Structures are given as C-alpha cells and as structure tokens.
C-alpha cells in the first residue's frame, strides 16, 4: 500500500539528492541539474525536511554527507535505475534488447518477408524472437487485446485505435512453371485465358475484394477458368510446378528466391494491362501494415515497424494497377 508520505514526495528530490551525493558541491550540482544555485539550496532544504536529517554539512572542501545520507547513497542508484526503467528510457539498443513480437501475415507476405527479415535480425538483434501466424479476419481484435503486435491485411475498414500504413506494391506478374509452353513467348490475352488459373485469396474477404483481375475481365465480358482457389502460397507454387496452370500474384515474393527453380514470372498480357489501366475496379482494398495505437511510443515496436516497412515497401516497378491488387488475383 502506498503511504501518504510517498504520495506527498516529489521524486525529483531524489534525483537532486543523487547529484549532490556525486558532486559534494552545490554549484556543480546545480549546473548538472540546469537550475540556479538558490533553487538547489531550496531543494536541499526540502530534502532535509523530508528525511528529517541535515544530510550534508558544509566545509571548506564542499559538502560532507551525514551517516543518513551515506546510507541513502547505497540505495539511491538502484532505486533511480528502477524508476527510469519503469518510466521507459529514451535509449533503445536492438543489440541488447530481449523481447518477442507476434506478426499476423498472409502466406505470400511471409514468403517474401521472413527470410530477409530474420537474416537482418540475426545480426542486429540476436535476442529478439518472432512468432508468425496466418492473418485472420479478427486481426483487429487480436491487436487490441495485445495478442499480436503487427498484422498485414487489406485495409477496407479499420477502427479508430488501429493504425494502417499502406505497403507499396510491385507490379503483378503472371507465374508459370519453368517448362510451361508459354515460358519462352510473349503472353497474349488469348493465351492467358486458354490455361487454367490458380487464385490466391485472403480468408474473410468476399470475392469482390479478392480479385482485381477477375473484376476487370468481367467488365469486358471475359472470364478465366479457376482450377484452384487457396490461401496457401506454397501450395499454389506446388500446383504450378506440376501443371500448366497460371498464377497472377504480386511480385514481392520474388526477392526471396525461394521458388526460382520451380516457377518464373512474366509480364501480364499487354491487353490486360491496358484493361486494368482503363477500368474502374471495385477492389479498393490495399494491403497495409496494422498496429494498435498503444505501441506508438514503444521504442522496440517503432524500431521493428521501420524494419518491417523496409522489407515490405518497395520503390521499384510500382504501377497503379498493383496498388489495387491489394489481396490476390
């Protein structure tokens, strides 16, 4: 239980006492505290009243602590260090930080993000642990409850205490197996429509919000054949590597190089690219990195946020259609 005396005590008095114990000189102590000498003399009087002890006696060589002050000198440093820890230090050192972060990610972003992120963390912050789980529609509740630190999802509607930071996207590309009949030719729209497709989607989103390509094609009265719909990117790659199916996906995962021997990416048909540019798609969702506002002043969270955005945000090959390809194709 907090005593009445502690309630009335100004903790800044303890800081002043520690500086006085270190300097044994009022003038030098006042300089360190950025206060005037008379102001520090008043603070010293408050300390004497609080501890009911003189604490220091003045001599020709400076201040000499009383036995009570010497006893306090043994306890104050640890006490002030504890207070500073509770209040939170402005200094943050990733090299010595020990902590755990949970990320909610769609599979395609996990494929793109984790290899490079974990390699950098191994060098910068070896004591940081990362836990990942597949993002689900209730990600905002998980962020609010502290069950997750960050989530990547399509920012259709977010609550007031959820901060959404858009992830810049690379141009969508058409992926196929390395020995596909179309691998060595420029893919036309008829070629694109002649083969079956694998479509990625995020659980919890309606079809209208999961495929900008199908939205655009439908407005031109044409459709592609969907052989498989899945949330699992690795499964989609496995199907592509053994069939002639095609996959339209954001090119973000290519940088990991994990599937370079299985599938290759090619430009979307030029006619489809023109259709995308000239068509108003109803797919307005944009992939964003989400976090709860309570982490805004957390130095570890802000540090990891910058790393996540560094690896998720790309500056090259940005195109307007990709910004509308927030989920899958």
Kindly state whether residues 242 and 312 are assigned to the same domain.
yes
HSE-CB at 197 with a 13 A cutoff on CA atoms is 21
Q: Are the C-beta atoms of residues 286 and 212 closer than 8 Å to each other?
A: no
Could you say which of 24, 58, 87 is where a domain stops? 87
Contact between 109 and 152 (Cβ < 8 Å): yes
The closest alpha carbon to 25, from 13, 47, 45, 41, belongs to 41
Would you say how long the chain is, in residues? 329
End-of-domain residue from the set 27, 52, 87 = 87
Are residues 209 and 136 located together in one domain of the fold?
yes
Range of the domain at 275: 96-329
Query: How would you class 18 by CB atoms within 10 Å of its CB: exposed for 0-12, middle for 13-18, buried for 19 or more?
Result: middle
Task: Per residue of the chain (329 residues), give pLDDT as tens.
Answer: 666 666 566 778 899 999 999 999 999 999 988 889 999 999 999 999 888 999 999 888 889 999 999 999 999 988 888 877 777 655 788 999 999 999 999 887 888 889 889 999 999 999 999 999 988 888 999 999 999 999 998 776 778 899 988 886 667 889 999 999 999 999 999 999 999 999 988 766 644 445 778 888 988 999 999 999 988 888 999 999 999 999 998 776 676 677 888 999 999 999 999 998 887 654 445 788 999 998 888 889 999 999 999 888 753 333 333 333 334 45
Q: Please check whether residues 72 and 108 belong to one and the same domain.
A: no
For residues 17 and 132, state if they share a domain.
no
Tokens representing residue 219 in the block: 């407005």
For residue 255, give the nearest of 119, 129, 155 by alpha carbon. Answer: 119
* Whether residues 19 and 111 fall in one domain: no
Number of domains composing the chain: 2
| Co-location of 116 and 80 in the same domain | no
- Of 28, 63, 87, the position where a domain reaches its end is 87
Predicted TM-score (pTM) above 0.85: no
CA nearest to 253, candidates 172, 182, 325? 172
What span, in angstroms and rounded, lies between the C-alpha atoms of 177 and 182? 9
Q: What is the DSSP letter of 293?
A: G
């Amino acid at each position: 239980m907090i005593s009445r005396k502690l309630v009335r005590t100004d903790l800044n008095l303890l800081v002043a006492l520690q500086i006085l114990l270190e300097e044994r000189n009022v003038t030098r102590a006042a300089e360190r505290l950025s206060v005037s000498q008379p102001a520090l003399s008043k603070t010293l009087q408050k300390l004497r009243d609080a501890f009911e002890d003189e604490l220091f006696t003045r001599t020709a060589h400076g201040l000499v602590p009383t036995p009570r002050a010497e006893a306090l000198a043994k306890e104050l440093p640890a006490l002030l260090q504890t207070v500073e820890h509770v209040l939170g230090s402005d200094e943050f050192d990733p090299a010595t930080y020990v902590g755990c972060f949970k990320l909610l990610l769609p599979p395609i972003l996990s494929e793109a993000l984790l290899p490079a992120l974990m390699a950098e963390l191994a060098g910068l912050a070896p004591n940081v642990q990362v836990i990942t789980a597949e993002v689900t529609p209730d990600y905002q509740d998980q962020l609010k409850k502290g069950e997750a630190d960050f989530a990547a999802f399509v920012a259709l509607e977010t609550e007031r205490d959820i901060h959404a930071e858009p992830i810049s996207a690379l141009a969508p590309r058409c992926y196929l197996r390395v020995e596909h009949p179309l691998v060595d030719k420029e893919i036309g729209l008829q070629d694109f429509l002649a083969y079956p497709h694998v479509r990625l989607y995020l659980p919890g989103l309606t079809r209208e919000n999961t495929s900008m390509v199908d939205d655009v094609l439908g407005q031109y009265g044409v459709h592609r054949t969907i052989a498989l719909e899945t949330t699992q990117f690795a499964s989609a790659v496995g199907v592509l590597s053994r069939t002639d199916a095609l996959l339209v996906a954001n090119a973000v995962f290519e940088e990991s190089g994990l599937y370079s021997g299985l599938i290759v990416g090619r430009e979307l048909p030029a006619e489809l690219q023109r259709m995308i540019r000239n068509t108003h798609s109803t797919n307005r969702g944009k992939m964003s990195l989400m976090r709860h506002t309570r982490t805004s002043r957390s130095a570890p969270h802000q540090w990891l946020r910058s790393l996540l955005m560094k690896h998720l945000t790309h500056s090259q090959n940005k195109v307007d259609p990709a910004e509308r390809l927030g989920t899958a194709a």
